[in-house]
Every structure is written in structure tokens, then in C-alpha cells.
Structure 1
Amino acid sequence: MKNLLCFIILFVYTTGFTQSTETIIPQQGKTTEDFIPKGWKIISTAFGDLNKDKAEDVAIVIENTDPANFTTNENLGPQTLNLNPRYLLILFKNKNGYTLNTVNKTFVPSANTTESPCLDDPFTTADEMTITKGVLTINFRTWLSCGSYGISNETFKLRYQDSHFVLIGYDLWESSRNAGDITETSINFLTKKKSITTGENLFEENNQNEHQTVWEDVQINELINLANLKWPNEIEF
């Protein structure tokens, strides 16, 4: 089911919208607002120490507000679709303000797409993002009101090491609104272990005894760089 969902959503986001590469983000700023280009807005913010210098860094997701990227939807779904791009910014705190460390223009999807207007906003309908003990956690949710019964929640855990952010953990919860069977996959890229848990169902209660967890080794030579992450991701290990 994960492969089918990713294929559908990848097609949607690659055919329905092309991200602009012209927006320039400043390298330095006194406040977080200094990094927000004209015509953009902040839609999510997380604070915490990411580079172990005991200063409060910040991760921000910004969204363009260009009216040209709003379009009328004549099919099922919302009447108006917001196709504006979103960028993930990571700012390190310093004595003069902030320094831009990372910009990812492909990881956080736009709110809507013309090819699949029934797809809910994958980012703002989830728990979005947090910073805890130096780990940046970003969540996405896949839910379509038409065209597919499949639903999923994805969690990406990123840590700053060797001068860049890498993916250290990935969790996937997936099910179907018709059958209800649940599969949970959890990957720890540091220990190179993966667990797959099955046996639970959306429509059944007290089925704890039916759970089955299988452990596997993860074959990976190097950790995935945040710069290489896109949404939807095909995490296959």
C-alpha cells in the first residue's frame, strides 16, 4: 500500500506544481523575520538546540502567498487550491541573531494539488515539527477524501552531525479506511535496525495479543542527507 500511495502522490506533486528556484533567503539576520522573503509567511516553527552550543536554534517552514498560485477547483475537494511552494529553513542562533544553515525546497509539499484535490494538506494536518534533545522531528499525514482509502502518518527524525543534517529515524503508520489493517514500520538508521508490526485493525478493539513484530537489518552505508529528502519519500530499507 505504501508503494501505491507514494506513486499516486509523487505523480500528483511532480505534475501538478513546479517549485520556483528564484527566491533568495538571506544568510544572516537579527530575527527570524529577517529570513522571510517578501510575499511569504511562516506556517510552522520549532525552537531548540540543534548544534549542541546551548543556544536556541529554530526550524521554520515558510509558504509563498502569491495569488497567482491559487486556482479554482471544479472537481471534488476544496473550491480553491493553494499551490504555493513551501521551504524548510534551519537557522542557528548566534550572538548577533541567526545564521542560515539549511534550506530545503522539496521536502515540505504545497497545501494542495490540481491533480488530486481530494488530498488533504500533508503537513499542517499532521503534528508538524518539533525539536527535542537535538533532534528535529517532522511529520506528514496522507489522507484523501476521494480516490483512495489508504491513510498514513510519516515521521522523519533528523540530527545535525558532520556539518549537515541527516536522517537518523523514520516511522511509518499506514492503514486503509475500508479493511482497517494497520502496519507500523520503524527504522533506526543509527543501529541499522527495522521493525515491522502488524496485527492491529482500526475497527477492532483489544487485539493486543494479535500483534506481531518482525525485526530486520537495514543495509545502509551512509546516512541520508536532508538536502536529498523530497516528499513523498520512498524510504525502502
Structure 2
Amino acid sequence: MRWLIFFLLLTFSELSRAQKFVFPKLANQSKEVSRLIPKQWKLLDSAQGDLNQDKQQDLVLILEHLTAVDEDRAYGNYEVELITETQKPRILAVYFKKNGGYQLATQNNDFVLRSEEGGKMGDPLKNIRIDSNKFTLSFEGGNDWRWKLNYQFAYDKKQWNLVAANNVYYHKDSGEMVDKQYDFVDRTIKTVVGSIFNRNILNSVDEDILVFGSPRTLMDFKKPWTWEVTKDNYL
């Protein structure tokens, strides 16, 4: 009997470890923001502004799970092997203001970097903001060599297109810097090389045509660093 109990406990333990974390389906609509946050989750950041040009104050939320779990994350692209990490999952949610309440426009479980993905600088999530009918996510991280990432998304034809991005890579001591500014509407890329301490002095600036296929959307652009926009240029 003791062997049977031990076997059942061992089996249950293995099954528990094998179970994948399941993200909740967020509430489709509510008049209260607090009711949009599932149990075991907390509100990490938010922004309000008009995103679909109806002059209503829409809402973008970033939620974080209260406890760390084993989560599969990709680095480079989603065709390579996933890396399992123990961290707190995050959700990006966009709600349109409608009929005095909020209606879910999109939910993304992958794109927002987690608190452990910023290197020595700590949590890479800096802020989320809404300007000119677009929302922007900002991240920052690294060690001696540091990086800043900004992604701007706009709502068009029922999808969230990446319209602009900025990728800054610099050394914290020497100030050596490469700043790439992407415009996916005008299809241009500006590259600034120089010093982060003298942003407008002795920096070289190169502008070129940005060649890519279909616009990237929030849903197919899984997470930062997974899109090779041009040769050896990742976002």
C-alpha cells in the first residue's frame, strides 16, 4: 500500500510539473477597470487616449501574474527552440471605450518583456503611452552595453500595425552609440552613429529606404528581438 501511495504521489508530481501555464481570457467588456483584471493578476501600467479616432478615451493595460511560473520564451525568432524560464507572465490588453464602458480590442500574451529580461538594469519595461491615436511601448536593459527599444502601434483595418520603432545600442561608459530609427509608413530607416553623450555633435547620420514585405502586426510580431527587419538588424 505504501508503494502504491508513493507511486501515485510521484505520478501526480510529474503531471503537475508537466502542465503548461494557461493565460486567462480577459473580460470582453466592463464599465469598471477593476473588473478587467483577472484573479491572481495585478495592474502594472496603463495609458488612456483615443486609439480608433472616435474621440473616446480608450485604454491600454499591462497586467502581471502575481507569482512566477515556468514559461517558454523565444529569442531570435519563433523557429528556434524555446527557452523555459521561471518568471511572472505579462499581458498587454487594449480596450476601446464604448457605450460608457470598455470593450476588448486585443489581448497579447507574448510581446511585453518580463521583469527578468532586462539584464543588470532590472525590469526592462519603462512605460506605455498613447499619442496621436497610437500607443508606444518602451523598454530598456543591458549591462555595460545597454539598449533602448520603442515600438509604436496604430489601429488600422481591425489590426494593430507596427508603424515606427527605435532601437538604441550604447556603452554606458564610453558613450559609443548606434541609434536606428524605423518608419514603417514612409519605409525609411535612419541610422545615427556616434556618442550618446553628444547626440547632436560629431554624429554621423545615414538615411536609407526600408525594404520589407507585409506590415508587422502586434499579433504576428511575437516579442522584441524576433524580427530581422534587414540583414543583422533585429527589432
Fold match by TM threshold 0.5: yes
SS at match of 1:93: strand
C-alpha offsets along residues 45-78 of structure 1, whole Å, 9 cap, x if unaligned? 0000001111100000001103x549xxxxxxxx
What is the aligned-residue identity percentage? Answer: 21
SS at match of 1:228: coil
2: CA distance, partners of 1:36 / 1:201: 39
Query: Are residues 173 and 19 of structure 1, via their aligned partners in 2, closer, same or farther at CA, if it must alter by over 3 Å?
Result: farther
SS at match of 2:219: helix
1:196 aligns with 2:195: no
Match of 2:139 in 1: 140
1:104 aligns with 2:103: no
Residues matched between the structures, number: 197
C-alpha offsets along residues 57-116 of structure 1, whole Å, 9 cap, x if unaligned? 0000001103x549xxxxxxxxxx982101000000101411101111011122126xx8
* Equivalent residue in structure 2 for 1:210, among 202, 208, 222: 202
* Equivalent residue in structure 2 for 1:231, among 216, 223, 227: 223
RMSD: 2.4
1: CA distance, partners of 2:173 / 2:189: 27
Match of 1:76 in 2: none
Structure 1 residues not aligned, in runs of 5+? 1-17, 71-80
Please give the residue correspondences for 1:168-179 in structure 2 after superposition, counting only pairs within 5 Å: 168-179=163-174
The AA in structure 2 aligned to 1:103 is: Q
Q: Answer with 1 or 2: which has the greater Rg.
A: 2
| TM-score of the two chains, using structure 2 as the length reference | 0.76
Residues 119 and 142 in structure 2, CA contact (< 8 A), matched pair in contact too: no
Query: CA offset at residue 117 of structure 1?
Result: 6.5
Query: CA offset at residue 208 of structure 1?
Result: 3.8
The AA in structure 2 aligned to 1:137 is: T
2: CA distance, partners of 1:25 / 1:101: 11
RCO higher in structure (CA 8 A, sep ≥6): 1
Query: Are residues 43 and 201 of structure 1, via their aligned partners in 2, closer, same or farther at CA, if it must alter by over 3 Å?
Result: closer
The AA in structure 2 aligned to 1:161 is: D
Structure 2 residues not aligned, in runs of 5+? 1-18, 71-84, 231-235
Determine which structure has the larger strand proportion and give its number. Answer: 2
Match of 1:184 in 2: 179
